[in-house]
Structure formats: structure tokens, C-alpha cells
Structure 1
Amino acid sequence: MTNETESKNRKRRTRFTMVLRRVHLYAGLFLLPWVFLYGITGAMFNHYGLFSEANIVDVPSSALSGSALDDFPSADLLAQQVVEQLRLAVPDAKIEMVDSHQPEFVNDVILQVKEDKIKHLVHIDPVAKSAWVASSPDKKYQPDAMLAKIRNVDVPSRPYELAKTSVASVLESAGIGADGKSEPQGWCKLNFLATVDGTPARVTYVLRDGHVDVSKFEGKSGMSPRQFFMRLHTSHGRPPHWNARMMWSLFVDIMACAMVGWGVTGLVMWWQIKRTRLIGGAVMMLSIATAIGLYYGMIHFYAASKL
């Protein structure tokens, strides 16, 4: 290989690296709002008190000493009691607990108390026997109902029946020979704005059962800022129309591709810095080992738990 050829190859690699770094950089800058959204709201799902709109009071176990929680059974004891009752209910069955699996509570015991337009959510930790209370105004937004006496309408086109009838044709066209009866799944709705006696109204028609809801349109989502951003986090799927919801779903796809892209470009840039290869390789192996451990741990958790 001549010096000139080697120089050209080096320039190509340098140019490729520069393009890679720029893509990595500008994709991150463009998608920064989504990075912050998913990062912050992800933490909000895990921590109720983060940016909470409720007043949260922690109640330590010491403050609950002498209460009914003193008699709250441990996970082991409760599991034994459940098994004993199962044995009594089905005496012919041999029911034994598996020693290799520790009984565990899935989550807190949660109860709600309403008082003077204030909603108190009481979370009781069944293991530590402590608790915390989230108090917030019970101010669920309810737009003014219009045409309240009308609950259902029967439209002549009968769209849901047409969809059910077309299932056989869909399956046949897909090469699936299924003769079973189709059953409703989900709630396809038609939403549109109208006016009732000159007043703006939001109309929702449920295709499945013909239920119709007409309420005064005030341009409000009915969600608090916290609820709205968390709803954005969980929004998924694509509607059949091109609207803001469809555009959001496209950016979810872009964000997914960008995250994979950041991983790939990060690997390439890491490998190009020779002095970081050893430490970076060790960190990556630790990451892979941790991910594998959590993978099998979560598989076992969901296999042994019914949520």
C-alpha cells in the first residue's frame, strides 16, 4: 500500500468519524426534550413523591406500634395460612410450599379515604409496617354533560357489525383458516367536535356498543401537568389519522432508533480511543453481566407472580 493510498484511507476514516460524532451530537440535541421527558417521567413512575401534586406525609413503623398492623402477618406466615385454607378446601390435593421460593408481597396495601373534597391515599408497607399518606384535592375534571339523557345511538351504517363481518375475509386474505367466533377487543371510539344550541361540544361515540358521550368543550385535557407528562410517557401505538397523536408516535419511533444509534455510535467512538479500550471493555462486561442477571431475575419474578 502506497503512502498516498494510506493517506486517502486515513482521511476517509477521519471523515467517517467526524460524521458519526456529528450525528451522535445533533441527534441528541434535537431529541433533548424527549430525553428529559422519558428520563424524568420514568423516575416519576418509580417515585410518587417526585414532582408530586399531593402533600405526602411519611408515617414510620414506630408511630404505628400498638395499632392493628402489629397483627399483620409476614409473607411467610400469610403464605402458610393460604396453603392451610387450600388444603381444607381441597382435602384430596397434596399442597406443599416450595422452599426454594420465598413468599413476597408484590406491592403496598393501598386504601383511599375521602373527606371534605380531599382525597387521602394511604400506602401501607406490609413488610416494614410503615406507611405514607398522599393527600390531594379530589378535583377530577368533569366537563359539563350535554344531552345527558341520550346514552346510546344506533347509526344506520352499523360500523362495528361491518367490522365483525369482515373478520372472515381478513383471515382468509391473510391465509389463516380460523372458524372461531370473533370477540370484541378494545374500545374503538370516534371523537369529533360539534355544537349543541350554539355551544361547543365534544362528542365521543363508541363503535362497540353505540354509547355516546356529549360534553361541553372547553379546550381542557382534564389532566394536571404531572398526569399529562406521564401520559405522554406511556402513549404508544398509532391512530389511523394523521394528527398530533400520530406525530408523537413517529417521534417515539425516532427516539427508539436514536437510542440504538447512540449505543452503536458510542461503541464506535469508544473503540477509536485506544487508551479507553481496556477500562471500557471491563465496564461493558460488567454492564452485560448485570443486565443478564436482572433479565433472569425479572423472568423468574413474573413467572412466579400474578400481577
Structure 2
Amino acid sequence: MTTEPQSRVARPSSRARVRYNAGMKLVRRAHMYVGLFLVPFVLLYGLTAFLFNHPDWFSDRSVRLITTQDAAGTSLGSFPNAGELSAQVIQAINQGGTSRVSLSTAQVPAYSRDLALTAKGAEAEQVIFLELEARTGSVRSAPAPKPVSRPAWARASVPLDSPPAEVARTAVAAILKKWGRGPDEVKVRTPPELIFAVESDDGTTWRAAYNLQTEALTVRPWGPDLSTRRFLTAMHLACRYPSQINVQWCWAAIVDLMAVAMVFWGFSGLFMWWQMKSLRRLGAIVLAASLIGSILVAIGMHGLIGR
């Protein structure tokens, strides 16, 4: 007589447990298959991001370091550090102004980035990065491209009766005015280039690039002009959805998919960890350390970027 009520009481709990196990199984399967599908794209995206921190990987340039011994005897060897140069700037300000200022302790003087220079010669093209505080640097050299005679038809500038950038600027000003937000001034920020192919009288095909703002025309022989490194870094920097559905649109969709998948991996990983009771304490310690570390890094980067 008592077994039937007990089974009826236990049945809802058992059903809930079955649904819970089925849900967690679905989470584990989704976690795994999403990861398997995105493995190639994650590796590609990770590699392209890695190249920005390590400019010598897949580089088509030879690298030579500028040491303190190389800098000795040159003006770089006596280049002022950030504190010394700040004092010089403060002194110059006080000499030319009516009021005096002094260096504040709110910000430790520092250079925001390395000084980048380029050097071009008949035999090589060089990109130089100088670490001003340490008075060292690096020189990346590549053979100079073979000179290509510019065809006679390729003028340096090709002005049009209706400059495209001016047409766009005027149109934007009119639209904003129509919205009741008439601006004082509209400037072109980053004009695109019009890329097209040109075939000359002798049958040679050229790649032409026309700047919509400066109306400058650059040409080079038709053909690929990408090193492995340039291709990978350019692929990483490709962003936004183009107006037409093409390969770049697919790449943008994959980037969005990876962003969603990373959030899903994080939360699904938390659920999977919580199921393993024996690892809850150790996992909590790791999670707490990660949260503290990420907060400290975010605060530090905020101070660095915002200075």
C-alpha cells in the first residue's frame, strides 16, 4: 500500500533529473561540435593576431638589432629619456608663456610607442623602430623592388569634373541638414581607393588605384603583390560586412560566429565544471584567480590607453 505513493512522489524528481541530464548532454555535445567546426578558423584567427606581437614571424625582411654600442657616438646615444624630455618641454613652455607650469606627478613621463622610420635606397628598403627610452632598436630590410617604368598614360593625378569625395561630402552635409543637424563642416576621413584593371595599347595589364579624395592615380603591373605575412595580417584586420555578399562577408560572419562561440564555450564550460563536484573547489580557485587577473589587466590597460 505504501509503495505506490512513494513511487508517485519520486517520479517528478526522477523526470526532472532525466531532463537535467538530457540538457547537460546537449550542452556537452554543442560545446564539442561547435569547437570542432571552428578549430580551423580559431587557429587562423589566432595565428594572424599572433603576428602583430611578433613582427619577425613569416617576415620577408631580414632583421638586425640596434644595440647600445651601435647607438654610442651618435645622437641616439644621448637621446633624452621621457623624464628629461618632459623637463625640456616644460622649460620651453615657461620661457614663452606669461604663466609658469610644472611637471605633475599624476602621470609618469613615458613614450607612447616606438619611433618608426623608413629608409629607401637603390638596393634595399628598411623599416626602423627605435625604442627611445632604451636607446636601442631594430632594422628590417628587404630588397628594393625593381623599378617599373610608369606608362605614359598614367598621370600622377587625374582630376574629374565632379570629384567623388566632394560629391559624397556635399551629399552628407545636405542629409544632415535635412535631419535638422546641419554641421559647420564635413570632412572626408578615410577615402577608399577605386581599384580597377587597365589594358594598355601594347596588351599589358596594369592594376590601377584611384584615390577618391586626392585624385592620385597609382599603377603597377597586374599580378599578386602579397607576402604571406601581409596576407595574414590584412586578413585579420578585415572588418565589417561589405555591401555585397562575397568572401569578405563570409569572413565577417565567421568572426561573429567565433565571438558568439567563445561566449558559449565560457558559459558551457562553467556548467560542465559545476557538474564535477570533486573539482568545484579547485575550479573556483582558478576562476577567482582568472577574474582578479582580468580585472587588473583591464584597469592597467585603461590607464595606459587613456593617458
- Residue of structure 1 in register with 2:91 after alignment: 84
Q: Deviations over 1:77-106 (max 9, x none)?
A: 11111110111121x122111124211122
Give the Å deviation of 1:167.
5.2
Indicate conservation of the 8 Å contact 2:173/2:182, yes or no: no
Distance 2:163 2:70 in 1: 63
Q: CA RMSD in A?
A: 3.2
Secondary structure, counterpart of 1:2 in structure 2: helix
Would the alpha carbon gap of residues 195 and 4 (structure 1) be closer, same or farther in structure 2, given more than 3 Å must change?
farther
Indicate conservation of the 8 Å contact 2:163/2:212, yes or no: no
Would the alpha carbon gap of residues 299 and 267 (structure 1) be closer, same or farther in structure 2, given more than 3 Å must change?
same
For residues 91-240 of structure 1, what are the structure 2 equivalents within 5 Å?
92-139=98-145, 147-149=153-155, 151-152=157-158, 154=160, 161=167, 164-165=170-171, 168-169=174-175, 172=178, 176-180=179-183, 181-193=185-197, 195-197=199-201, 200=205, 202=207, 204=209, 206-208=211-213, 216-218=221-223, 220=224, 222-240=225-243
Select between 255-264 and 107-116 the one with higher mean Cα deviation: 107-116
Unaligned 5+ segments in structure 2 are 1-7
Indicate conservation of the 8 Å contact 1:74/1:126, yes or no: yes
2:76 to 49, 56, 69: 69
- Residue of structure 1 in register with 2:44 after alignment: 37
> TM-score, normalized by length of structure 1?
0.81
AA paired with 1:244? V
1:16 to 12, 23, 40: 23
Distance 1:128 1:46 in 2: 19
Give the Å deviation of 1:36.
1.5
- Residue of structure 2 in register with 1:299 after alignment: 302
Indicate conservation of the 8 Å contact 2:82/2:111, yes or no: yes
Would the alpha carbon gap of residues 155 and 239 (structure 1) be closer, same or farther in structure 2, given more than 3 Å must change?
farther
AA paired with 1:225? T
Give the Å deviation of 1:150.
7.9
- Residue of structure 1 in register with 2:245 after alignment: 242
Indicate conservation of the 8 Å contact 2:169/2:188, yes or no: no
> TM-score, normalized by length of structure 2?
0.81
For residues 280-295 of structure 1, what are the structure 2 equivalents within 5 Å?
280-295=283-298
Indicate conservation of the 8 Å contact 2:154/2:217, yes or no: no
Secondary structure, counterpart of 2:99 in structure 1: coil
Secondary structure, counterpart of 1:139 in structure 2: coil
Distance 1:165 1:14 in 2: 60
Would the alpha carbon gap of residues 66 and 212 (structure 1) be closer, same or farther in structure 2, given more than 3 Å must change?
closer
Select between 31-40 and 186-195 the one with higher mean Cα deviation: 186-195
Would the alpha carbon gap of residues 76 and 278 (structure 1) be closer, same or farther in structure 2, given more than 3 Å must change?
same
Indicate conservation of the 8 Å contact 1:145/1:216, yes or no: no
Unaligned 5+ segments in structure 1 are none
Give the Å deviation of 1:233.
0.7
Would the alpha carbon gap of residues 72 and 44 (structure 1) be closer, same or farther in structure 2, given more than 3 Å must change?
same
Would the alpha carbon gap of residues 170 and 59 (structure 1) be closer, same or farther in structure 2, given more than 3 Å must change?
closer
2:56 aligned with 1:49: yes
Would the alpha carbon gap of residues 39 and 179 (structure 1) be closer, same or farther in structure 2, given more than 3 Å must change?
same
Identity across the alignment (%)? 27
- Residue of structure 1 in register with 2:4 after alignment: none
Would the alpha carbon gap of residues 284 and 145 (structure 1) be closer, same or farther in structure 2, given more than 3 Å must change?
farther
Distance 1:262 1:241 in 2: 31
Give the Å deviation of 1:118.
1.5
Distance 1:55 1:215 in 2: 25
2:263 aligned with 1:260: yes
AA paired with 2:234? R
Indicate conservation of the 8 Å contact 1:147/1:214, yes or no: no
AA paired with 1:3? A
Secondary structure, counterpart of 1:110 in structure 2: strand
Select between 206-215 and 24-33 the one with higher mean Cα deviation: 206-215
Total equivalences in the alignment? 298
Would the alpha carbon gap of residues 199 and 259 (structure 1) be closer, same or farther in structure 2, given more than 3 Å must change?
same
Distance 1:111 1:255 in 2: 36
